[in-house]
Amino acid sequence: MRQLSALDAQFLNFETETNVANVAGLSILEGEVTRDDLVDLVEERSALVAPLRQRIAQVPFGLDHPYWVQDEALDLDYHVRELALPAPGSDRQLAAQVARLHARRLDRHHPLWEMYLIHGLEGGRTALYTKLHHAAIDGLGGADVLAAFMDTEPRPKRRARTRPEEPDRAPETAEMVIRTAGRLLANPAHMLRFLVSAMPYLDEIPLISRLPGAVPVSRATRWLTRQIGLGPEEVPELPKLSVPRTPFNGPVSAHRRFAFVELPLDEVKQVKNAFGVTVNDVVMTLAATAVRRWLIAHDALPLEPLVAGIPFSLRDVGAEEPGNQVTLMITSLDTQIADPRERLDAVHEAMRRIKDRFNLAPARWLRHLSESMPAALTGLADRAAFGLVAQTSPPVNLIVSNIPGPQIPLYVCGRRLLTQYPVSVITDASGGLNITAFSYDGQIAVGVIACRTMVPDVWTLPGYLREALDELIALT
């Protein structure tokens, strides 16, 4: 059996009717796929993907974090579903259907995932929407889950159906109590570790970094620990960022809007090579430009830069650790700069600064802080914190993420994967807009998820992204 980490449990704790922690992928397949073929594939590969076979087992009275336990009666009739779009089956109809599915919470009595086979797309295509709970996977982990159902050739050899050698079992109540007591005794040590490890980096922790004295205390602690030989080498200073108010900050509704677009990777690389930046810098600049244009159209462009949350993976190369191995870095998103070249340069500099700092001192404060809190308090604390920051001072304006993917054709049930769009998370704390990019086979697929009431015209953003790339191409 495996217990959820404190960070994994946070994604369960903060969920409400409006804050939903689903992450998903929207696969567009060439041709038709039948549900029978998809069920056969899932049954064949499910033993390779632990989150598909595990459900949540709660500790009595919520005194400790839940456990993942084996679901011995995995019900594929429940998990694998199908539906059809009405004619003509346009991209906007597909996006509207995905937005409705994405807003629904997963049933915690079952393993936390669902698959929807969607027929009726224009051009004879089929869509596969796969939704998992963020408590089970992070962005890179989600990509790995989807990869388990994909092949590098249309007719691969069948794999033998296997089961885990040692199925996870639900711990007995007495065992849970003993483990809970051990964790309670360890909480002060976790809190001490958080304070020791976080004090030098208070200036990069959302909310805390804006408290009076946080930045000078952070600098002084780094200097002192270096003097006594215990601290890290000098790390780049981070600018003090104030989070301006935008129309997509505040409490999110229970409804979502979704839109998507594909951008040629070779054009993004053309910009990268012309200006000596990275692919990620270009993607971030495209997001900044698209959001700038949206804010101008709504007469809501702040004079100062927006603040974006950038997920960073903590996974070591080749590591296969389960659950969430991610932290959130914050950076300026220079929407206030009118000139596109200057905007690209500013984004490049901001990303260089946080990457240099992360490489010298990976930000593990989120994990350490989660571990330091007693499990019985974290559920209430997480929900209260989300509600408070939404009403007062959000830590970021939005989330922007760029996930590298394979650059070779892949197949699902013998059908070629044409595009893979990410569908991510919005919350009260992270803002009602999330722009996530995923590169695959020469294209960058961008998924834009938003709160329906905050950004009702979400389909303007894909057009703005395309225009932003054209603008940079014209400068090369």
Q: Are 133 and 21 in contact (CB under 8 A)?
A: yes
| Closest by CA position to 41, among listed 130, 108, 133 | 130
Helices then strands, counting H and E runs in the chain, come out as 13, 15
8-state DSSP, 199: G
Catalytic, out of 133, 134, 348, 368: 134
Is residue 98 within 8 A of residue 258, CB to CB? The reply is yes
* Active-site annotation holds for 134: yes
* Residue that is written with structure tokens 């991610």 in the block: 326
Asked if 291 and 335 touch (Cβ cutoff 8 Å), the reply is yes
Query: Between β-strands 433-440 and 398-403, what pairing exists: parallel, antiparallel or unpaired?
Result: parallel
What's the first-to-final CA gap in the chain, in angstroms? 55
**Omega before residue 88 within 30° of 0, cis:** yes
H-type alpha helices, 73-172: 76-79, 91-102, 139-147
Tokens read off for 238: 């981070």
What backbone phi and psi angles, to 5 degrees, belong to 375?
A: -60, -35
Q: Rounded to whole angstroms, how far apart are CA atoms 443 and 446?
A: 10
H, E, C per residue of 415-445 = EEEEEEEEECCCECCCECEEEEEEEECCEEE
Whether the CB-CB separation of 271 and 318 falls below 8 Å is answered with: no
Q: What residues act catalytically? A: 134
